[in-house]
């Protein structure tokens, strides 16, 4: 059985596509970037407005906490995924 030119080109194209997908998934955009580390830390609310609170965290990305009406200066324990801009309160502070 001999393959026609069109079939040969299709095999080469699909093979190249598979190799490119493997390279992209392992070197350029690894799957484990989707799995983020959960971080829990104690922070102080620096702003509270419109039902949202805002805090600074150790990853240097300000976090927004929705449905939060705590006063500025309140210390709370929050949890967030490293590198993302939102957090949730684990333990409301004083």
pLDDT at residue 29 in the model: 72
3-state helix, strand, coil in the chain (%, to 5): 30, 35, 35
**Pairing status of strand 63-66 against strand 88-91:** unpaired
**pLDDT of amino acid 5:** 86
Helix (H, G, I), strand (E, B) or coil at 65: strand
Tell the residue number behind the tokens 């580390």, with chain if given. Answer: 37
Question: In tens digits, what is the pLDDT along the chain, a chain of 94 residues?
Answer: 788 888 999 999 999 999 998 888 777 777 666 777 899 999 999 999 999 999 999 989 999 999 998 999 999 999 999 888 999 999 876 6
């Amino acid at each position: 059985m001999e393959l026609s030119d069109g079939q040969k080109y299709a095999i080469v194209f699909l093979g190249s596509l598979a190799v490119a997908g493997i390279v992209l998934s392992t070197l350029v955009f690894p799957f484990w970037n989707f799995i983020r580390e959960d971080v829990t830390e104690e922070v102080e609310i620096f702003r509270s407005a419109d039902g949202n609170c805002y805090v600074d965290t150790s990853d240097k990305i300000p976090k927004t906490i929705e449905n939060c009406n705590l006063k500025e200066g309140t210390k709370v324990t929050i949890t967030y995924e490293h590198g993302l801009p939102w957090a949730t309160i684990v333990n409301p502070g004083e």
